[in-house]
Every structure is written in C-alpha cells, then in structure tokens.
Structure 1
Amino acid sequence: MRIAALLAAASVVVAPHSLAQDAPAPVPIAEWPLEKIEAMGREIYIQDVAAWVATDALIAHLAGAQPKGIAGWIVTGDGPDRLVRFVTRDGETISAGWDIMVTAGRAGPVKVVTGQPLSDLEQARFRARQTAIEGIGPLRCSPNLNTVVADDPDGDGWLVWLLTATTDAKVVPMGGHYRFHISTDGREVLSRDQLSNTCVSMNLDPTGSQGPTAGLYVTQIVSSAPVETHVFLSLQNRMPIYVIAGEKMFEVLGDDITIVAAER
C-alpha cells in the first residue's frame, strides 16, 4: 500500500474532489467460497509485496530520479516468486522498461529492457488494468489507488483489484477497494464489485494505554462473509481481522478464515 508514495506516476490518481463522503445504499457483491477468498487475498498480498520491493529497487537503481514515461507495472508468475515488469508509454506505444525478479519477498537486480515489446498476454494483462481504472465507481477513499491483476482461477478473463492506498503505516484502509472481472482481451468490464459500502480507515496504536493493537473489527454489509481484501490486510498487518457479516462473525487470520460466532 505504500507504493503510491514511492512511485506516484505509476499509481492510479483520482481527483481530490471525487473522494466519496456519503454512504449510499449497499449493493451486494458476487459471493465467493471461502477457499477462493483466501487464495485471492493471498495473491493480492504476494503481488503487492513484489510491486513494493521492486519499486524500491527501481528507485534505488535510478538514484531517486522519476522513471521517464512510466505507465505502471505488471506482475507475472505463480507461487511466491514473481517477475515485476515496469511498463513505459510513448504516445500510444506501450513497451517494457525494467524487469525485477522478486524472490522470497526480496528484489533482485534491475534489468533494463527498454523498448522490448510486451507479449500478447502481457498486453492483455496491462490492458485489463487500464480498463478497470477507467471503470472505477464513485466511491473514492484515497487520492491514490494501487492495482493487482490476476488470472481468474474459475474461468476465462482477468481479476483486477483497485486498492485504496495509504502512506501511513499506522492506518489500515478497509474501504474503497474494488474487484473487477475483465474479459480475456482486457478490453471489457464483465462485472464490478465495490467491496465496501463506505470509506473506513482504522488506526493502529502501538503505544496505546491498552497496549498494542491486537486485532481489528469491521462490519461487512455488502456480502455475507469476509472478502479477499480482509485477507490481504490481515497478511499485510500481521494481525487478525474480525468481520461481522450477516449473522456470523469471522476471524481472518492471515489467509485462514474461520467462523467464530453465529446467531442461532
């Protein structure tokens, strides 16, 4: 979530006046099995870490200079190790700029690949990112958003998340995240789910009178269970998130979701 502060030109920027203040009527989202929610939350976390450490490595490589023409990044690969490819734009031409392999959460050397064309699959992945950005809804909880693009494990097309960014390590942004299902060619929004009804940010207090924050509680009204961003935020902040959804309370502990209470 700190990428926006490190590389502002590569994050999604929304106009400050568009940040949502009012709470509209909740719109139910597509419901997923808990196993998929856990897996997709883990995927978001892996990609977010990869993009974050790769961004640090790129900025160090460029001695702090702003990368010229940078338009964003794509993260490819499966498992814990990922390739982060930073993409540049020259007019209408999109091409590779720098490649960084991230292994076990650590960035390797920066490889300059300026001008190398993207493969058809890479183009579709990046296009899906752009299509989601263009289709964002009215709820905006931060002037910057981060993006994650993944294969849909249950079918064709892409899953794209637009994630509320923060530059404050003591703030956990629960609200404002979006999930998109984008067509295989990356051009069409097949569905859009707003994963919260309002902007909700929670503060972590490591020096509070009651001791460090041990867990977070949130009410989820657009679904009957936690969503993948709860898993991502639990992994990122290394603490449980308790989610009240429908008639149940869930504990999200990393990428493991359990029901801890239910109305009878």
Structure 2
Amino acid sequence: MRTAIVAAALLAVAAPPAAAQRAPDPTPIEEWSLEKVSKMGQEIYRHDVAAWVATDALLASFGAGPPPAGMAGWIVVEDGDALKVRFLRQEADALKAAFDIIVRDGRAGPVEAVNAPLSAGESARFLARQTAIANIGRLRCSRQMNTVVLADPDSDDWLVWLLTPMENDQIPIGGHYRFRISADGRTMLRRDQLSNTCFFAEPPPEGQREGAMLFYTQIVSKGPVETHVFLSIQNQLTLVIVAGDRFYSVGGARIADITDMVDQ
C-alpha cells in the first residue's frame, strides 16, 4: 500500500547530488512539537513574504537611481496585525532605521523615510541575523541565502533561519539552517542543519498541481521541520515526509501523521 499511495498522486522529486553519497553522518537537530513546527513554518513564510514585497517596493521608489549610500540590510518586526520592514543605514558607528514599510496581508504599503535609532530589541534582532550568517556550517546549497529572524515563543532566544532560495524554478527541500541565538544577538547557542545534503525538487508541470505531492526522506529529525511547512505554503503543494518509520503529510500549515493510512 505504501507504493500505491505514492503512485496515486503526481510525485515530483529530484535525485540527490552525487556528493550526497559522501555526506557525513547526519547530526540530529533540536526536536519540536508538530504544533510548534507548524506555527514557525507559517511565521517564516509571513516574514519572508514581507521582506520580499517591501524590498521590491523600496527599490521601485528609487526609480532608476541607486539606493542611498550606507544601506545595511533590514529587520522585520511585528506592528499590530501587520509587519513593519525597517531598512537600515550605517551612520558612523551606529545603525539607524532609514525607511519603514508596513506589510499587511502580503501587500506593501507606502515607503516612509525615517531617521530613527533602533531599539535594544531591534538591534539584538539584527545582531542575531549577523551572528547566524557568521556561523553557517559546511552545507552550502546556494551562493546567497535568505534570512528570517523570529523570537522563540518558548524562551528569550532568537531563532534565525538561513534559507536556500529556489534555483532554476526547483524547490529547495534541503539546504536550510536553523540557529538559536542568545537574547542579546551576540552568541550562537545552537546550529541545526535541517538536512544532511542539498536537495532540489522539480515542481509539477503547470496545470497538474492539484493533488500533486513532493516526497522527501528526512534523516536529521523524527518528523517534519518548519521549512517543510514554509515550502508547502510557498509552493501550494503537499509534502510527504518520511522520518524513521513514520509518514507525515504537510499540507500548508496542517501536519498529519499518515503512517496508519499508508500501512493499510
């Protein structure tokens, strides 16, 4: 029946690179409840979209001209029921907010020019991002990585993700990192490599996405991780994750253990 459930839907998978055969033994990651995995995956998607649409809006506001000198990145912070993307500028030895854009429901509002110092929390959030980047591990699946920084709901730590972006329209199921960073943003407390190798999956052809699934074997954890939720939402596809002797479906924010159904 395991073969039947896979064959029943269009299954888009990519062969792992040859280098995967020489990969070191997997290092187990910090395990989370499925509830936290789902919540963090949704927040990663929300913050990633905010950074993306705000960046597009800011660049469009400059027209054909270059960005102002000293631009140093951005942070994404909660702003009521929306998100505020703060673009930063280096001034002497201080980081300041240079532009703010409110993103609500995935849509960027107007660009607001500001000249404001960062709060202690905002500075720590940006430092956490920089600390994670400085401590990336051996697995490099892209020349550039996207970043998301969230406050851990269960501690005072920051959680930072370095995310491998899509490449040639292929979906990067592997290649992502999760970091646990101290509250002041300066110390890496833990680095979790969320896969043992790079793994890019071919998406289903246009017009054949309904009912399609991506199949992936997870060997660094006992179940799905938050990047599986993120990718499922981003690509509007269901992922079937095999972890140990268990099967899970990840359909957007919904994670279900389908082992009993598969075994029937």
> Normalising by structure 1, what TM-score?
0.86
Paired residue total: 241
RMSD: 2.0
Is 1:235 equivalent to 2:233 in the alignment?
Answer: yes
* Residue correspondence of structure 1 range 1-264 to structure 2 within 5 A: 22-67=22-67, 68-77=69-78, 81-90=82-91, 92-113=93-114, 115-166=115-166, 168=168, 170-207=169-206, 211-212=208-209, 214-262=212-260
Deviating beyond 4 angstroms after TM superposition, the runs of 4 or more aligned structure 1 residues are none
Structure 1 range deviating more: 191-200 or 56-65? 56-65
Are the structure 2 counterparts of residues 182 and 146 from structure 1 closer, same or farther at C-alpha, using a change threshold of 3 Å?
A: same
One-letter amino acid of the structure 1 residue matched with residue 26 of structure 2: P
User: 1:80-104, CA deviations, whole angstroms, 9 ceiling, x for partnerless residues?
Assistant: 5200011122454321121000011
SS in 2 for 1:77: strand
Tell me by how many angstroms 1:71 deviates: 1.8
Q: Structure 1: give runs of 5+ residues left out of the alignment.
A: 1-19
Computing the radius of gyration over CA atoms, which structure comes out larger, 1 or 2? 2
Percent identity, please.
54
Between the aligned partners of 2:112 and 2:153, the Cα distance in structure 1 is 30
Aligned to 1:11: none
Between the aligned partners of 2:257 and 2:145, the Cα distance in structure 1 is 31
Between the aligned partners of 1:257 and 1:148, the Cα distance in structure 2 is 22
Structure 1 range deviating more: 76-85 or 156-165? 76-85
Aligned 8 A contact 2:209 2:237 in 1 = no
Structure 1 range deviating more: 176-185 or 59-68? 59-68
Tell me by how many angstroms 1:205 deviates: 3.5
Q: Structure 2: give runs of 5+ residues left out of the alignment.
A: 1-18
Tell me by how many angstroms 1:66 deviates: 3.9
Between the aligned partners of 1:122 and 1:102, the Cα distance in structure 2 is 17
Between the aligned partners of 1:98 and 1:167, the Cα distance in structure 2 is 30
User: 1:195-219, CA deviations, whole angstroms, 9 ceiling, x for partnerless residues?
Assistant: 00000011113249xx447121111
Aligned 8 A contact 1:46 1:80 in 2 = no
Aligned 8 A contact 2:222 2:243 in 1 = yes
Aligned to 1:3: none
Tell me by how many angstroms 1:27 deviates: 0.5
